[in-house]
């Protein structure tokens, strides 16, 4: 008899982590691999934030904190949500966790009963369906067409909702496609949600600041204030502030839900690092002029990658509005043969072909619940991206 619980056996390992691990193993063998599989900015954490962390250590801010997070950080988050999103929350309506990922999981675990359904537009971040399963719910995947820029339509949302639906999970800009939901898009979805008052909205806004002009960010509780009372807004400092390793995310929502989430966190991780919390205050309230520079650089990299990949035989790549990913359609290489005679039958085959033959690590679209695609992170130096794209174009041209 296995010691592993049945509900854990149903959970898949993260495809992004798995591909990054494969690339690392090849590097250890002496292979020269360009890794474009990890969703992590390559910039250092800005100096003012690093200094805030150092000062927290020097002043002894190294002890346990409140489960929900230190009050000054929650006050900073409250002010940010008001300043940037026009949302009013009390400090008791805000919780801080070990990254936005934990906040999302806590929200699901605090609210799902067996048989509850969670509507997830696909493609989606690899962890969403498995977090729903771990929390006891049932993920309901809704395929979103590339022709609609991978956006969930009001009609598709209406068709997916049942009496058992508890949540709609909405990530914008979207990992893996970079798709942004405009205020108009969200208003259309809100029209459906008003007809179904039992459905809550989990708005994952972690890429909020990484938007390419002229696109503008909007979030559901801002666009539809009447849905504020059943919306959990999730964000963090990992992406735009280059703090992936600091592990600080936050959620804001109804006090009853936040209290339940804090109960779960109190019995699991307790809280995120005290040092990270003090650094996050600076990230949220301090100078953020660097974000403009980051966005401009990411946009330049995006354009390099999109333009070059559209020259690759068999690939088609749309231009994303945000985040730092492209999601090329690779249907044109499915069914082709490699020089060794192997048939590329799936996007996973294609991703492995690029890793083994071109030395480029990408993630197959199957990990994001949509095939045949691959996800490429362009959070790398321009020169490295250019070399990687050259290799991909060459590898595609060698298929027959």
Residue 79 in any domain: the answer is: yes
DSSP 29: T
Is the pLDDT reported for residue 222 higher than 80? Answer: yes
Is the pLDDT reported for residue 219 higher than 80? Answer: yes
Say yes or no: 31 and 95 in one domain.
Answer: no
Say yes or no: 362 and 226 in one domain.
Answer: no
Question: What is the reported pLDDT for 107?
Answer: 98
Is the pLDDT reported for residue 19 higher than 90? Answer: no
Output the CA–CA distances (angstroms, integers) from residue 6 to 111, 130, 296, 321, in the order listed: 21, 13, 46, 40
Residue 363 in any domain: the answer is: yes
Mean pLDDT of 82-92: 98
**Which CATH number characterizes residue 215's domain?**
3.40.640.10
Say yes or no: 22 and 79 in one domain.
Answer: no
Q: Give the number of domains in the chain.
A: 2
| Residue 177 lies in domain | 47-285
Q: Which of 251, 267, 285 is the last residue of a domain?
A: 285
Say yes or no: 231 and 86 in one domain.
Answer: yes
Is the pLDDT reported for residue 13 higher than 80? Answer: no
Say yes or no: 171 and 70 in one domain.
Answer: yes
pLDDT tens digits, 47-78: 999 999 999 999 999 999 999 999 999 999 99
Residues paired with residue 138 on neighbouring β-strands, in sequence order: 117
Say yes or no: 294 and 253 in one domain.
Answer: no
pLDDT tens digits, 232-265: 999 999 999 999 999 999 999 999 999 999 999 9
Say yes or no: 261 and 167 in one domain.
Answer: yes
pTM, whole model, 2 decimals? Answer: 0.94
Residue 313 near residue 396, CB atoms below 8 Å: yes
The bridge status of strand 249-252 relative to strand 117-122 is unpaired
Say yes or no: 132 and 269 in one domain.
Answer: yes
**Which CATH number characterizes residue 31's domain?**
3.90.1150.10
Say yes or no: 144 and 163 in one domain.
Answer: yes
List the one residue out of 6, 33, 32, 4 whose CA is nearest residue 20: 33
Taking the C-alpha atoms of residue 98 and residue 236, their distance in angstroms, rounded to an integer, is: 10
Residue 162 in any domain: the answer is: yes
Residue 350 in any domain: the answer is: yes
Mean pLDDT of 271-293: 97
Question: What is the reported pLDDT for 6?
Answer: 81
Say yes or no: 314 and 344 in one domain.
Answer: yes
Is the pLDDT reported for residue 17 higher than 80? Answer: no
Mean pLDDT of 338-358: 95
Taking the C-alpha atoms of residue 200 and residue 207, their distance in angstroms, rounded to an integer, is: 21
Is the pLDDT reported for residue 2 higher than 80? Answer: yes
Say yes or no: 140 and 103 in one domain.
Answer: yes
Residue 367 in any domain: the answer is: yes
Is the pLDDT reported for residue 7 higher than 90? Answer: no
Question: What is the reported pLDDT for 334?
Answer: 98
Q: Which of 238, 265, 285 is the last residue of a domain?
A: 285
Residue 1 in any domain: the answer is: no
Is the pLDDT reported for residue 400 higher than 90? Answer: yes
pLDDT tens digits, 150-205: 999 999 999 999 999 999 999 999 999 999 999 999 999 999 999 999 999 999 99
Q: Which of 230, 262, 285 is the last residue of a domain?
A: 285
Say yes or no: 187 and 211 in one domain.
Answer: yes
pLDDT tens digits, 103-128: 999 999 999 999 999 999 999 999 99
């Amino acid at each position: 008899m296995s010691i592993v619980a049945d509900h854990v056996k149903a959970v898949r390992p993260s495809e992004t982590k798995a591909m990054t691990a494969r690339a690392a193993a090849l590097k250890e063998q002496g292979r020269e691999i360009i890794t474009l599989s990890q969703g992590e900015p390559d910039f250092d954490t800005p100096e003012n934030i690093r200094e805030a962390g150092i000062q927290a250590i020097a002043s002894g801010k190294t002890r346990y904190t409140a489960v929900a997070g230190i009050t000054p950080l929650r006050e900073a988050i409250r002010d940010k949500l008001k300043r940037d999103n026009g949302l009013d929350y009390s400090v008791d309506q805000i919780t801080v966790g070990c990254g936005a990922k934990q906040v999302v999981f806590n929200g699901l675990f605090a609210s799902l009963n067996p048989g509850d359904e969670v509507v997830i537009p696909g493609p989606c971040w690899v962890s969403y369906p498995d977090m729903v399963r771990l929390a006891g719910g049932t993920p309901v995947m809704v395929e979103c067409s590339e022709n609609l820029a991978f956006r969930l339509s009001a009609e598709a949302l209406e068709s997916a909702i049942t009496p058992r639906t508890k949540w709609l999970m909405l990530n914008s800009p979207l990992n893996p496609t970079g798709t942004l939901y405009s205020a108009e898009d969200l208003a259309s979805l809100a029209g459906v949600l008003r007809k179904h008052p039992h459905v809550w909205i989990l708005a994952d806004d972690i890429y909020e600041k990484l938007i390419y002009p002229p696109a503008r960010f909007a979030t559901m509780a801002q666009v539809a204030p009447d849905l504020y009372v059943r919306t959990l807004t999730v964000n963090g400092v990992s992406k735009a502030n280059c703090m992936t390793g600091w592990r600080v995310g936050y959620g804001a929502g109804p006090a009853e839900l936040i209290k339940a989430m804090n109960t779960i966190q109190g019995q699991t991780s307790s809280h995120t690092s005290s040092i990270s919390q003090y650094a996050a205050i600076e990230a949220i309230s301090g100078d953020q002029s660097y974000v403009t520079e980051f966005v401009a650089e990411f946009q330049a990299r995006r354009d390099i990658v999109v333009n070059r990949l559209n020259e690759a035989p068999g690939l088609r790549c749309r231009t994303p509005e945000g985040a730092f990913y492209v999601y090329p359609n690779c249907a044109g290489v499915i069914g082709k043969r490699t020089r060794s005679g192997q048939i590329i039958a799936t996007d996973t085959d294609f991703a492995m072909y690029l890793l083994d033959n071109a030395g480029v690590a990408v993630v197959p679209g199957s990990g994001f619940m949509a095939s045949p695609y691959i996800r490429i992170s362009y959070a790398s130096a321009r020169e490295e991206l250019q070399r990687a794209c050259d290799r991909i174009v060459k590898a595609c041209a060698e298929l027959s």
